[in-house]
Chain A
Amino acid sequence: MTAAKPKTWLARLLLALLMTVTLLPFLSMFTAALAPSGSYPNGLSWPADPQWSNFARAFEAANMGQLVLSSTLIVLGVVPVSVLAATMAGYGLAKLTGGRNRWIYLVFVAGLTLPFEAVITPLYYEVRAFGLLNTRFAIILPLIGLYMPFSVYWMRAHFLNVPNDLTEAAQLDGATRWKEFWLVQVPLARPAIMSLTILLFLWTWNQFLLPVVLVKDPSRRTMAGALGAFQGQWGTDVPLLCAGSLLILAPTVLLFLAFQRHFVAALLQGSVKG
């Protein structure tokens, strides 16, 4: 295709433009983060005297070490349990239930488009009744439930594509459903489980509404929730705020860069719910 040549060129230009637009806010934040603390820097200008120490100060001010720990704990509380429960349910709904029990699946799917704001008020009172307000469980437990529609939908879709023959072969080989699940289905579901894990990790790490409503102490929130508090506290000090924001978004970005391929695949497939 000779006609492709000029088009490639045009396409690259377009994409380069898009990339620039995407990156500018980060660049602007980065240069601002290097300006002297408390000053009012300009949009995009390399400071005369880059203040790298701003990052150290922001690290202190945001209590970064504690935040990473807290977010990690919350992710560890949410993701493995959600993935396991959803994988089991996905298998159960795809392979063990027939037409008469389809309503269970429909009940799950009904939650797919539910905005978290629609249940946040009762969740507050519920979590308070459980005595969990201001603990990490106030975020962990509701998130497990709130992620179920997507997770179950996701895993069921995977299991629907696994040939029934394999299930039947396992049954004849003497496997109980439980054994079949662990020895045949789970190993085969690894790509789907991997994608789900990445998505749930991102969504949990970046979750904002629940921490803001249910947990006051920023050191027990997710990264995103803590960032909200950080802005409230340091919002007027632009360099420090920018430095802190960059630090707070660094962990996911680094993970993303490291596992770029998996993340992109997961986000593309998983965008059924963004």
Chain B
Amino acid sequence: MTDGTPLTDARPRALRLLPTGRSRRARYTAILFVLPAFTAYAVFVLAPLIMSLYYSTLRWDGIGKARFTGLANYVTVLTDPDLLSIIGNAFELVLYFTVIPVLLGLAVASAIRGHMAGTFGTLTRTVLFLPQVIPLVAAGIAWSWMFASTGLVNQMLTAVGLADWTRGWLGDFDFALPAVGIIGAWVLLGLCTMLLVTGITKIDPSLYEAARLDGARPWHEFRYVTLPGLRQEIGVCVTVTVISALASFDIVYIATGGGPGITTMVPGLEIYRLAFAHRQVGLASALAIVLMVLVLIAITPVQWYAREKK
């Protein structure tokens, strides 16, 4: 009673029953439901990720004794001109993988706004999704053939009188990387287009009518109605395509193997080469971690952009 609580208010206060058996049981149940997924994730993603971090501090050929080298591998990744140009290649691929599909997709989506019903729509959807269904490797093979010296690309150039321009595209030091980029653009174009077309049908048509009443030109409609309305879809397109550009492997492996020289070498393939052909596990792991971080850095602003409105 030192705090002066009046005696009359000294009710037996609160039979506290916490933590109850119920909440404990509920927690066990939750754990049991999540456990299988978490185990698989921990064993085959988290553990390797930690090992990657660990390997990246070693100088190790994968067989003999490993030597701790601290951050030396990271220094190599970030200073070696070859590795830097390989990372540069990945970012150059973003130009093709991301910019072409998103811009073309936007153009198509705003042109065909809402005209995707019926048989024609179904046909379009089916065809445009084909590249998403086949293995990337198959896309790589198909386009290797397209870009071959007797392939369709050269055939068409010859047909329009540009025979001088023909070449073995994937073996050309200047054009191999753009050619690889085109393959990625081809794969992702349909997906982006469909995402944006679907997104645009969700924009309230009365917004366009209101804009037109306000005297908006087509460009204004695009700028002030379509673009803001597609924010989320554009975010998804950019995210997906940027990841597939930075982490590309299948297409490059099949189409060029990184050549000629290292003009089309990308981090994904270089990790594979370093770890399993050159037996530089430490360096490969450092590059892997750098790649992971680069993807995160590239994606984060996109996520912000896409979310801002919500």
- Of residues 126 through 183 on chain A, the ones whose CB sits less than 8 Å from some CB of chain B are 126, 141-142, 144-146, 148-149, 151-152, 177, 181
Report the bound CA distance from A197 to B124 in whole Å.
Answer: 24
Q: Are A120 and B272 closer than 8 Å at their CB atoms?
A: yes
CB < 8 Å: which of A11, A44, A104, A238 contacts B34? A104
**Segment touching A, from B7-15, B25-33, B219-227:** B25-33
Report the bound CA distance from A147 to B265 in whole Å.
Answer: 26
Known contacts A18-B190, A43-B146, A117-B291; is-contact A92 B33 (Cβ 8 Å) = yes
- CB-CB under 8 A from A268, the residues of chain B are 194-195, 198
Report the bound CA distance from A223 to B250 in whole Å.
Answer: 13
**Segment touching B, from A46-54, A56-64, A186-194, A249-257:** A249-257
Q: Is A86 an interface residue (CB 8 A)?
A: yes
CB < 8 Å: which of A149, A177, A260 contacts B33? A177
Task: Name B36's closest neighbour in chain A (CB-CB).
Answer: A85
CB < 8 Å: which of B33, B36, B126, B268 contacts A117? B268
Q: Min CB distance, A266 to chain B, in Å?
A: 10
- CB-CB under 8 A from B190, the residues of chain A are 18, 22
Report the bound CA distance from A223 to B135 in whole Å.
Answer: 8
Q: Are A88 and B34 closer than 8 Å at their CB atoms?
A: yes
Q: Are A43 and B44 closer than 8 Å at their CB atoms?
A: no
Q: Is A14 an interface residue (CB 8 A)?
A: yes
- Of residues 92 through 119 on chain A, the ones whose CB sits less than 8 Å from some CB of chain B are 92-93, 96-97, 101, 104, 107-108, 111, 113-119
What DSSP secondary structure best describes chain B's contact surface?
helix
CB < 8 Å: which of A19, A145, A242 contacts B128? A19
Known contacts A18-B190, A125-B51, A205-B135; is-contact A148 B37 (Cβ 8 Å) = yes
**Segment touching A, from B67-75, B77-85, B173-181, B240-248:** B240-248
Q: Is B148 an interface residue (CB 8 A)?
A: yes
Q: Is B103 an interface residue (CB 8 A)?
A: no
Report the bound CA distance from A224 to B251 in whole Å.
Answer: 11
- CB-CB under 8 A from A22, the residues of chain B are 127-128, 130-131, 186, 189-190
Q: Is B305 an interface residue (CB 8 A)?
A: no
Q: Min CB distance, A13 to chain B, in Å?
A: 9
Q: Min CB distance, B219 to chain A, in Å?
A: 16
Q: Is A212 an interface residue (CB 8 A)?
A: yes
Known contacts A228-B253, A245-B141, A256-B129; is-contact A25 B146 (Cβ 8 Å) = yes
Q: Are B138 and A119 closer than 8 Å at their CB atoms?
A: no
Known contacts A224-B135, A249-B134; is-contact A118 B152 (Cβ 8 Å) = no
Q: Is A29 an interface residue (CB 8 A)?
A: yes
How many B residues are at the interface, by size bracket?
A: 35 or more
Q: Min CB distance, B279 to chain A, in Å?
A: 11
Q: Are B115 and A208 closer than 8 Å at their CB atoms?
A: no
Q: Are A8 and B132 closer than 8 Å at their CB atoms?
A: no
- CB-CB under 8 A from A82, the residues of chain B are 40
- CB-CB under 8 A from B123, the residues of chain A are 19
Task: Name A126's closest neighbour in chain B (CB-CB).
Answer: B48
Q: Are A115 and B292 closer than 8 Å at their CB atoms?
A: yes
Task: Name B270's closest neighbour in chain A (CB-CB).
Answer: A117
CB < 8 Å: which of A12, A117, A123, A273 contacts B267? A117
Report the bound CA distance from A111 to B62 in whole Å.
Answer: 26
- CB-CB under 8 A from A245, the residues of chain B are 138, 141-142
CB < 8 Å: which of B112, B195, B243, B284 contacts A11? B112
Q: Is B259 an interface residue (CB 8 A)?
A: no
Report the bound CA distance from A274 to B250 in whole Å.
Answer: 14
- CB-CB under 8 A from A40, the residues of chain B are 150
Task: Name A248's closest neighbour in chain B (CB-CB).
Answer: B138
Q: Min CB distance, A138 to chain B, in Å?
A: 11
Q: Is A28 an interface residue (CB 8 A)?
A: yes
Q: Are B296 and A113 closer than 8 Å at their CB atoms?
A: yes
Report the bound CA distance from A67 to B184 in whole Å.
Answer: 26
Q: Are B127 and A121 closer than 8 Å at their CB atoms?
A: no
Known contacts A28-B151, A114-B292; is-contact A256 B130 (Cβ 8 Å) = yes
Between-chain CB contacts (< 8 Å), 6 pairs: A117-B267, A122-B51, A126-B51, A208-B136, A224-B138, A274-B243
Further pairs besides A14-B111, A257-B126: 4, Cβ < 8 Å: A11-B112, A89-B38, A145-B41, A151-B37
Shortest beta-carbon contacts, A-B, top 9: A145-B44, A92-B33, A43-B152, A115-B247, A11-B112, A89-B37, A224-B135, A43-B155, A122-B51
Chain A contacts to B: CB under 8 angstroms: 4, 7-8, 10-12, 14-15, 18-19, 21-26, 28-29, 32, 40-45, 82, 84-86, 88-89, 91-93, 96-97, 101, 104, 107-108, 111, 113-126, 141-142, 144-146, 148-149, 151-152, 177, 181, 202, 205-206, 208-209, 212-213, 223-224, 227-228, 231, 238, 241-242, 245, 248-249, 252-253, 256-257, 260, 263-264, 267-268, 271-274
